[in-house]
């Protein structure tokens, strides 16, 4: 483990004293998600009128931040997020938060190669153990990387942070400059969204593909929750977990005995994740659980590591796909709504895994201002960001079917995508495809020999 040596022994100070270190023009880092400080945030917000041009990097903000609430015009603080949460999306819309494009698995390297040093880093941690280690809890992500490049490192302790085992999932007191005591309030919870009939239909198609010993990566949302529910009753055995985000659905599979990790090649018997966000029940189940390993994203998300497990099944959602198979999962035109996250890296890692499968899922339609529109389109919405390239897409799933795009020509891909669209839009999509010469007249109409489709 890299040990950052503090200039003086760690000193206990108040949140107000810690906030006094910040100067106009400084760069700060609040870590991410459940690792964000609260007492320090309030103390810094109280100094808003004294400061200008303070940049704060964070990600996946789990609750309102006082520095943004007291500065609605962004005159004093500006927020830079690696992946927008619903709260950060609103602040981005208001012009006081900005997205930093990323592959989540590369972020530790960004800090080490391109972004340091950071003037002040503040991370929420458990109080130090008998050996002087402050555990990060269920938020490893890139915590070690920001510590390495911190000019001033402050830890905010909280007894609410569950202890999570992991690879380098702690910071030693010898690396810390200052310690402030937090408020010990319960960690913010993330409620699981309701599961719709369309979610269940999509989940049914994915669940039918599962095999004993599959290693799961699964995203957040109603559809992934539905997949977990179906797997619980599917008879699947010895599933593993190597994922970016640990969700309630995955924890429930573990508690039901369906996830054992017994057939994993990497970290057998362990469920590996980079961060957890869900219910208090999940946080309690994580606490000192030796079957759970919380690791940095350069371990969980890099394709050459993901592929070391066999039968990696990666399940992620998107919001729009074009007829050639490009997935736009993070923006609505030029409006950023989330981030690339781990989708593209897990698509590659799952494909490279022996027996692995990558699934990109979406409902066929959505409604905007009372008008129903197709999520499968000839051209992506102008400005939409391509999250996963057409060449990285393997399986695509809607409530109308499941198809594989690997190895297909452009006309074959187009026909396959049209088959997944809502029936009300297929004729128009077919016409648009012909007019755009995506399906040339000379192309043989039958399926190419050897191609395997699974379209309902």
Strand, coil or helix: 195: coil
Q: Which domains does the chain have, with CATH numbers?
A: 18-181 (3.40.1080.10), 197-435 (3.40.1080.20)
Look up residue 114 and give its DSSP letter: I
pLDDT computed for residue 5 by the predictor:
62
Query: What is the Cα–Cα distance from 201 to 203, expressed in whole angstroms?
Result: 5
- Which one of 244, 252, 330, 399 is the catalytic residue? 244
Q: Of 13, 37, 43, 288, which is closest to residue 158 (Cα–Cα)?
A: 37
Task: Provide block-wise average pLDDT over 10 residues at a time, the chain (456 residues).
Answer: 62 98 98 97 98 97 96 97 96 97 97 94 98 98 97 98 96 97 96 87 91 92 81 87 96 95 98 97 98 98 98 96 97 96 97 97 93 97 97 98 97 98 97 94 52 52
Q: Taking the alpha carbons of 194, 199, 205, 210 in that order, is the dihedral positive or negative?
A: negative
| Structure token pair of residue 375 | 């999520």
Query: What is the Cα–Cα distance from 274 to 296, expressed in whole angstroms?
Result: 6
pLDDT computed for residue 240 by the predictor:
98
Measured in whole angstroms, the distance separating CA 60 from the mean position of its chain's CA atoms is: 8
Q: What does the CA dihedral 137, 139, 142, 147 come to, rounded to 10 degrees? A: -40
* Residue 386 burial (CB count, 10 A): 18
> What pTM, to 2 d.p., does this model score?
0.93
Query: What is the Cα–Cα distance from 250 to 298, expressed in whole angstroms?
Result: 21
**Residue 252 known to be catalytic:** no
pLDDT computed for residue 223 by the predictor:
79
| Beta-strand pair 401-404/331-332 | unpaired
CA-based angle 123:250:278, to the nearest 5? 40
Query: What is the Cα–Cα distance from 124 to 228, expressed in whole angstroms?
Result: 30
């Amino acid at each position: 483990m890299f040990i950052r040596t503090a200039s003086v022994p760690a000193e206990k100070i108040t949140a107000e004293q810690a906030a006094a270190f910040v100067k106009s023009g400084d760069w700060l880092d609040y870590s991410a998600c459940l690792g964000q400080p609260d007492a320090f945030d309030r103390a810094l917000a109280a100094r808003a009128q004294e400061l200008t041009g303070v940049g704060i990097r964070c990600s996946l903000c789990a609750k309102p931040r006082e520095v943004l609430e007291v500065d609605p015009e962004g005159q004093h603080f500006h927020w830079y997020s690696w992946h927008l949460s619903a709260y950060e999306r609103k602040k981005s819309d208001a012009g006081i938060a900005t997205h930093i494009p990323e592959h989540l698995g590369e972020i530790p390297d960004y800090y080490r190669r391109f972004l340091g040093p950071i003037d002040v880093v503040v991370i929420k941690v458990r109080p130090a153990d008998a050996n002087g280690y402050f555990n990060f809890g269920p938020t490893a992500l890139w915590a070690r990387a920001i510590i390495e490049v911190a000019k001033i490192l402050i830890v905010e302790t909280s007894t609410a942070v569950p202890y999570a085992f992991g690879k380098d999932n702690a910071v030693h007191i010898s690396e810390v400059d200052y310690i402030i005591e937090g408020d010990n309030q319960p960690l913010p919870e993330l409620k699981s969204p309701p599961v719709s009939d369309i979610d269940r239909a999509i989940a049914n198609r994915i669940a039918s593909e599962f095999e004993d010993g599959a290693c799961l990566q699964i995203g957040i949302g109603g559809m992934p929750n539905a997949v977990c529910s179906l797997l619980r009753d599917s008879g699947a055995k010895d599933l593993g977990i190597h994922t970016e985000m640990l969700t309630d659905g995955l924890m429930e599979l573990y508690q039901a005995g369906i996830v054992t990790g017994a057939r994993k090649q990497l970290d057998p018997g362990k469920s590996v994740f980079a961060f957890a966000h869900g219910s208090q029940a999940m946080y309690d189940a994580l606490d000192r659980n030796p079957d759970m390993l919380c690791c940095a994203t350069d371990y969980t998300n890099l394709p050459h590591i993901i592929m070391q497990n066999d039968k990696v099944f990666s399940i992620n959602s998107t919001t729009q796909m074009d007829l050639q198979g490009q997935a736009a999962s993070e923006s609505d035109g030029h409006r950023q709504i989330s981030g690339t996250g781990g989708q593209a890296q897990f698509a590659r890692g799952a494909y490279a895994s022996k027996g692995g499968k990558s699934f990109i899922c979406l409902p066929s339609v959505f409604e905007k201002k009372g008008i129903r529109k197709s999520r499968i389109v000839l051209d992506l919405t102008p400005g939409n960001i391509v999250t996963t390239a057409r060449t990285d897409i393997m399986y695509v799933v809607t409530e109308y079917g499941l198809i594989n795009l690997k190895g297909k020509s452009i006309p074959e891909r187009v026909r396959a995508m049209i088959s997944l669209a809502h029936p009300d839009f297929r004729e128009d999509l077919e016409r648009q495809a012909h007019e755009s010469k995506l399906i040339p007249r000379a192309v043989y109409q039958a399926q190419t020999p050897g191609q395997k489709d699974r379209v309902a």
